[in-house]
Amino acid sequence: MSCCDQPGLIPVEQALEKLLNAAQPITETETEMVAVGKALGRVLAADQQSTVDVPPADNSAMDGFAFNSVDCKESGQTTLPLSQRIPAGVAPQSLQPGTAARIFTGAEVPSGADTVIMQENCQWDSDQVILPAEPKAGDNVRPRGQDIQSGSIIMCRGHRIKPQDMGLLASVGIAEVPVYRRLKVAVLSTGDELVEPGSDLPPGHIYNSNRYTLAGLMEAQGFDYIDLGIVPDNFEATEQALRKAAALADCIVTSGGVSVGEEDHVKACVEKLGSLDLWRLAIKPGKPLAFGNVLGTPILGLPGNPAAVFVTCAIVARPFLLKTQGANDILPTPIQVIADFDRPKPAKRQEYLRAMLSLDENGVAHAQIAGNQSSGVLSTASVGNGFAVHSLNGTITAGEPVPFLLFSDVLY
Amino acid sequence: MSCCDQPGLIPVEQALEKLLNAAQPITETETEMVAVGKALGRVLAADQQSTVDVPPADNSAMDGFAFNSVDCKESGQTTLPLSQRIPAGVAPQSLQPGTAARIFTGAEVPSGADTVIMQENCQWDSDQVILPAEPKAGDNVRPRGQDIQSGSIIMCRGHRIKPQDMGLLASVGIAEVPVYRRLKVAVLSTGDELVEPGSDLPPGHIYNSNRYTLAGLMEAQGFDYIDLGIVPDNFEATEQALRKAAALADCIVTSGGVSVGEEDHVKACVEKLGSLDLWRLAIKPGKPLAFGNVLGTPILGLPGNPAAVFVTCAIVARPFLLKTQGANDILPTPIQVIADFDRPKPAKRQEYLRAMLSLDENGVAHAQIAGNQSSGVLSTASVGNGFAVHSLNGTITAGEPVPFLLFSDVLY
């Protein structure tokens, strides 16, 4: 896994591939059962199979009248006596030949009937119904098993459960599902210049923002976030914090403190307790990224600048952590929008520009740069709604397509 | 607000406008203070102003050497004595003229210095440093207030807090923020055919899925979800449930039971306790939508079919509820992708096709239909990752752009 000896910068895709190859998903024994109603964002630990057909029987898509299409005249209206009334939730009788049944949306279509006509197209009283000419056989009947057949796999192991998945699981009668326990991620910030918000700011200091950005990212992904706060810039405190993190967590994420600087103790500490590779990624903001282990627990060392932390966590750390969590849908979906700006110089590092989408009068999405793109500037990540990607070695021309990642697609 | 008398179907955009005009945001008195680290997804109840500059002083973007560019030769290397060492977190002395300071990433640049050279480009020992020729004045210095100036508004009332917003608030020293209390949304399903998952399925019945889809959608948006379960199809039980919902919640969402059918008691009940308009939306799946109030509490009646509930909740109910919560960023951002399918017939209702994005060899996003688009079919909402929108009266041609909404953009 060593990359230190590579002369150039590592492209983001290559770094992601290395990280994902190294990721060790939580094993199948580390699962728990959760109620489907509480399963949002959790990762399925086993394929889910349906034991029923959905719908379980032919049912009506409308309020109207059920009948057999053979009883209808080929032309002109047909009058049929009403032989039963079938509200939703009631098991119907077989339909007597030559009759119709009053039926309601969601109700089971009786055997012997093959078609439903919506009531707006009929005339009826309590005894009989007049059906319009030439009804189409099969109309307004949702056939048994249309959505799901008994025995089929409806959701795979590794699926992250979204709201509609909760509905789908419930629709086949599944009340609880096995999921992997939440991934425990320990987060620590390094830097003697850091002060917690809410206190005064002495000269030479800045407020710690990375702790909060990372807390939000971990919570949004449903991880069990272990906040180890700010670690002082000295070897002993760093070692103590790393040992604690390794004992408590499945993964460790740090911000700041991983470079070749004399004041950086994380590198020396991790090398004492495990191993560390320093990568130089072709990513901007970002570049330095450390990956290794502390007493066997994987550690990701992110840069210290606020925007660099945001980008490297969303783009690089998130897929690694999601794979370790056991998820299989871990990469965002880049789309293309029209650039409203020029970047004529080929990018030496792939740049994730904080940007805003807006629609023009034709409904076409355009991306504007959200402002200052310095790695220290977080405000543009707050006003933007995604990353316009200036691809490695590529250029961006106004009016041409540019890849875009919506924040909603890289935060959750 | 009555729309029943309109002859045609109401376009989705027009219905949304009516709903949003009717939405009454939670008032400013209904706020609470939360720690920034716990504020994910909450809605700001007041503009947030910075009382500091970020960064608070000029600081170094690199490990290297700080000096004044006037002390450098115009050509050739310059040797300067080292007069101080400035780690991050230490308040520096003013720089003695004609000297350089050893400096580290994030450390404050001393007054009298205007430039930092990264250490990789220097030679140095404990006493002096040799700087390269022609350093560019201002290099590697992040100026005071580059990101945020003291007194500026960094986030507006109504902003929904994302992970990077948590970091931004912390970066100006804000430890807690005023947010609106969570919106209380009561959800109830109607239909005697419904059975809860985990129990046996009698003839004529189906499992209740809407309750779970809606639970997930409410949780994803950070609402306080009040689950009132299944209401039996009779007037008394419906009235009792609606009275309870109105007493407990800010908004009521129902699925099923709102049509002109004889078995639908919700309409009559709501009209007894308040008022109800039945709208026929030009949306597919969907169409019937009820909007009114129960004893003054707004009620949204969604259709009963699983996919129709998913679509109408994500597209229509979500913006209404978010506005009632006090949020101002409430509509998703449609993008355009290439359709891999044809829909040559003009859409009589705007259709939200469950679809999947994939990238071709050029990185261009294409949309494929996820399968069966029947309003009863939820499985295609689970395998898909967004809606391809067949616009009202429009057509879709393979190879041409089609509007697309990523699920991640309409679920959170």
Instruction: Centre a 10 Å sphere on the Cβ of residue A121 and count the other Cβ atoms it contains.
Output: 13
Instruction: Centre a 10 Å sphere on the Cβ of residue A113 and count the other Cβ atoms it contains.
Output: 25
Q: What is the 3-state secondary structure (H, E, C) of chain A?
A: CCCCCCCCCECHHHHHHHHHHHCCCCCCCCEEEEEHHHCCCCEECCCEECCCCECCCCEECCCEEEECHHHCCCCCCEEEEEEEEECCCCCCCCCCCCCEEEECCCCECCCCCCEEEEHHHCEECCCEEEECCCCCCCCCEECCCCCECCCCEEECCCCECCHHHHHHHHHCCCCEEEEECCCEEEEEEECCCEECCCCCCCCCCEECCHHHHHHHHHHHCCCEEEEEEEECCCHHHHHHHHHHHHHHCCEEEEECCCCCCCCCCHHHHHHHHEEEEEEEECEECCCEEEEEEECCEEEEEECCCHHHHHHHHHHHHHHHHHHHHCCCCCCCCCEEEEECCCECCCECCEEEEEEEEEECCCCCEEEEECCCCCCCCCHHHHHCCEEEEECECCCECCCCEEEEEEHHHHHC
Instruction: Check whether residue B268 and residue B225 sit in a common domain.
Output: yes
Task: Give the pLDDT confidence of B9-19 residue by residue, as tens digits.
Answer: 999 999 999 99
The pLDDT assigned to A338 comes to 94
Single residue among A90, A124, A142 that ends a domain in this structure: A142
The pair of three-digit structure tokens given for residue A295, joined into one six-digit string = 């007493």
Residues A390-407 have a mean pLDDT of 96
- Three-state secondary-structure class, residue B168: helix
Instruction: Check whether residue B47 and residue B175 sit in a common domain.
Output: yes
Does B256 lie at the interface with A, CB-CB under 8 angstroms? yes
The pLDDT assigned to A124 comes to 95
- Three-state secondary-structure class, residue B354: strand
Contact A197 B164 (CB under 8 A): no
Closest to B213 in 3D by CA, of B285, B279, B282 = B285
Chain B: residue whose CA lies nearest to A221: B163
| Segment 312-331 of chain B within 8 Å of chain A by CB | none
Chain B: residue whose CA lies nearest to A378: B168
Does A168 lie at the interface with B, CB-CB under 8 angstroms? yes
Report the percentage of chain B scoring pLDDT > 70: 96
The pLDDT assigned to B262 comes to 54
What is the Cα–Cα distance from B290 to B259, expressed in whole angstroms?
A: 9
| pLDDT of residue A323 exceeding 60 | yes
The pLDDT assigned to A258 comes to 65
DSSP state of B306: H
| pLDDT of residue A76 exceeding 90 | no
DSSP state of B407: H
Contact B365 A333 (CB under 8 A): yes
Task: Give the pLDDT confidence of A229-244 residue by residue, as tens digits.
Answer: 998 888 999 999 999 9
Residues A332-338 have a mean pLDDT of 91
Q: Is residue A357 part of a domain?
A: yes
Question: pLDDT-based confidence at A5, cuts 50/70/90?
Answer: very low
DSSP state of B281: B
Q: In chain A, how many domains are there?
A: 4
Residue linked to tokens 């404050």? B108
The pLDDT assigned to A4 comes to 38
Instruction: Check whether residue B305 and residue B284 sit in a common domain.
Output: yes
| Segment 11-70 of chain B within 8 Å of chain A by CB | 36-37, 40, 52, 54-57, 59, 61, 63
What is the Cα–Cα distance from B294 to B275, expressed in whole angstroms?
A: 7
Residues A259-265 have a mean pLDDT of 62
Q: Is residue B285 part of a domain?
A: yes
Does A105 lie at the interface with B, CB-CB under 8 angstroms? yes
Instruction: Check whether residue B221 and residue B250 sit in a common domain.
Output: yes
Q: Which of A211-215, B43-47, B157-161, B356-360 has the lowest mean pLDDT?
A: B356-360
DSSP state of B343: B
Contact B411 A162 (CB under 8 A): yes
Contact B408 A412 (CB under 8 A): yes
What is the Cα–Cα distance from A284 to A300, expressed in whole angstroms?
A: 17
The pLDDT assigned to A372 comes to 87
Residues A20/A319, Cβ–Cβ less than 8 Å: yes
Distance from CA of B156 to the nearest CA of A (A): 10
| pLDDT of residue B7 exceeding 70 | no
Distance from CA of A90 to the nearest CA of B (A): 5
Instruction: Check whether residue A175 and residue A187 sit in a common domain.
Output: no
Single residue among B274, B303, B325 that ends a domain in this structure: B325
| pLDDT of residue A6 exceeding 60 | no
Contact A163 B88 (CB under 8 A): no
Instruction: Check whether residue A285 and residue A407 sit in a common domain.
Output: no
The pLDDT assigned to A393 comes to 95
> What CATH number is associated with residue B64?
2.170.190.11
Residues B166-181 have a mean pLDDT of 97
Single residue among A142, A162, A192 that ends a domain in this structure: A142
Q: Is residue B6 part of a domain?
A: no
Does B219 lie at the interface with A, CB-CB under 8 angstroms? yes
The pLDDT assigned to B101 comes to 97
Does A87 lie at the interface with B, CB-CB under 8 angstroms? yes
Chain B residues with CB under 8 Å of A187 CB are none
Residue from B58, B171, B407 whose CB has the most chain A CBs within 10 Å, to mutate = B171
User: Mean pLDDT, chain B, as a whole number?
Assistant: 92
CA neighbours within 13 Å on the CB side: how many for A315? 33
Contact A105 B259 (CB under 8 A): yes
Report the percentage of chain A scoring pLDDT > 90: 75
> What CATH number is associated with residue A274?
3.40.980.10
Contact A87 B233 (CB under 8 A): yes
Q: What is the ipTM of this complex?
A: 0.90
- Three-state secondary-structure class, residue B286: coil
Does A209 lie at the interface with B, CB-CB under 8 angstroms? yes
Chain A: residue whose CA lies nearest to B64: A261
Closest to B207 in 3D by CA, of A59, A33, A44, A41 = A59
Q: Which of B54, B168, B406 sits opposite A333 (nearest CB)?
A: B406
| pLDDT of residue B395 exceeding 80 | yes
Q: Is residue A100 part of a domain?
A: yes
| pLDDT of residue B133 exceeding 90 | no
Closest to A213 in 3D by CA, of A77, A307, A276 = A307
Instruction: Check whether residue A190 and residue A287 sit in a common domain.
Output: yes
Contact B198 A175 (CB under 8 A): yes
pTM confidence score: 0.90
Instruction: Check whether residue B193 and residue B316 sit in a common domain.
Output: yes
The pLDDT assigned to B150 comes to 96
Q: Which of A52, A165, A372 sits opposite B146 (nearest CB)?
A: A372
Q: Which of B90, B147, B408 sits opposite A379 (nearest CB)?
A: B147
| pLDDT of residue B376 exceeding 90 | no
| pLDDT of residue A345 exceeding 50 | yes
Q: Is residue B114 part of a domain?
A: yes
Instruction: Check whether residue B186 and residue B320 sit in a common domain.
Output: yes
Residues B2-6 have a mean pLDDT of 38
Chain B residues with CB under 8 Å of A145 CB are none
What is the Cα–Cα distance from B76 to B132, expressed in whole angstroms?
A: 7
Does B139 lie at the interface with A, CB-CB under 8 angstroms? no
Residue linked to tokens 């780690």? B87
Question: pLDDT-based confidence at B263, cuts 50/70/90?
Answer: low
| pLDDT of residue A297 exceeding 90 | yes
Q: Is residue A313 part of a domain?
A: yes
Instruction: Check whether residue B262 and residue B385 sit in a common domain.
Output: no
Q: Is residue B1 part of a domain?
A: no
Residue B188 burial (10 A CB sphere; 0-12, 13-18, 19+)? buried
Peptide bond between residue A55 and the one before it cis (omega within 30 degrees of 0): yes
| pLDDT of residue A209 exceeding 50 | yes
Highest-pLDDT range among A34-38, A200-204, A260-264:
A34-38
Task: Give the pLDDT confidence of B91-118 residue by residue, as tens digits.
Answer: 899 999 999 999 998 899 999 999 999 9
Q: Which of B199, B208, B363 sits opposite A403 (nearest CB)?
A: B363
Chain A residues with CB under 8 Å of B400 CB are none
Residue from A125, A164, A278 whose CB has the most chain B CBs within 10 Å, to mutate = A164
The pLDDT assigned to B72 comes to 87
> What CATH number is associated with residue A353?
2.40.340.10
The pLDDT assigned to A259 comes to 58
What is the Cα–Cα distance from B398 to B369, expressed in whole angstroms?
A: 11
| pLDDT of residue A410 exceeding 60 | yes
Instruction: Check whether residue B285 and residue B398 sit in a common domain.
Output: no
The pair of three-digit structure tokens given for residue B50, joined into one six-digit string = 């910075």
Task: Give the pLDDT confidence of B277-333 residue by residue, as tens digits.
Answer: 988 899 999 888 999 999 999 999 999 889 999 999 999 999 999 999 999 989 998
Task: Give the pLDDT confidence of A141-192 residue by residue, as tens digits.
Answer: 989 998 899 999 999 999 999 999 999 999 999 999 999 999 999 999 988 8
Distance from CA of A130 to the nearest CA of B (A): 18
The pLDDT assigned to B74 comes to 74
Which domain covers residue B128, as residue numbers?
59-142
* Number of cross-chain residue pairs from A and B with Cβ atoms under 8 Å apart: 362
Q: Is residue B133 part of a domain?
A: yes
The pLDDT assigned to A299 comes to 97
Chain A residues with CB under 8 Å of B312 CB are none
Instruction: Check whether residue A41 and residue A174 sit in a common domain.
Output: yes
Does A364 lie at the interface with B, CB-CB under 8 angstroms? yes
